[in-house]
Amino acid sequence: MRIRPTLEHDIQCLPEVERSAARAFADWPTLAWLAQAEVLGVDAHQAFVTAGTSWVAEDPQGRVLGFACARRERHALHLCEVSVRREAQGQGVGRALLRQVVDAARREGAHELTLTTFADVPWNAPFYARFGFERVDEERLDTRLRDILAVERAHGLVGRCAMRLALGH
């Protein structure tokens, strides 16, 4: 498996990768609906690729196993999505993608890497916490993260939290 920047020709398969990844939620009663939920479209992926903030993990046969995409904010890189095909989960692909995003954020001189995620889903907040991310308490949320959480709530995503990894710039 190797991690590389996402190329134009990868974009077409990314919605299917995200749909496959979301099957992880199928057995989680309150979030099972996410297994059928809307995923990022090709236009959104195109924007990440153009910005140079999208990466894929591919197997030795060149099959895309997962992707991570991020958005540049003022002093931060914000991780928008990381998804690994259901059958490839639990084998270190997500961790490798996350490491790539952290490296990119450091290289760009970002002060922090931020994200929002489910607080109580084992492969969400606890996974990021083991990686070194800290949960941002409600009262310490800046406007940007507060707004992201509000939009997510409006889309029915409850139990979400914001997390940050300080990068020491």
Ligand X SMILES: CC(C)(COP(=O)(O)OP(=O)(O)OC[C@H]1O[C@@H](n2cnc3c(N)ncnc32)[C@H](O)[C@@H]1OP(=O)(O)O)[C@@H](O)C(=O)NCCC(=O)NCCS
Residue numbers at the binding site for ligand X (CB under 6 A) = 21-22, 24, 82-84, 89-95, 117, 122-124, 127, 130
Q: For residues 80 and 75, what is the distance between their CA atoms, to the nearest angstrom?
A: 16
DSSP string, 17-28: HHHHHHGGGTTS
- Report, in Å, the least distance between residue 17 CB and ligand X: 9
Residue nearest to ligand X (CB): 94
Sheet holding 2-5, edge to edge: 2-5, 54-58, 64-72, 76-84, 112-118, 160-166, 134-135
CA dihedral in degrees (17, 150, 106, 51; nearest 10)? 60
**At its nearest, how many Å lie between ligand X and the CB of residue 116?**
7
Report the residue number, 142 or 152, with the smaller CB distance to ligand X. 152
CB of 154 to ligand X, least distance (A): 18
Cβ nearer to ligand X, comparing 96 with 110 = 96
Nearer to ligand X among residue 151 and residue 169 (C-beta): 151
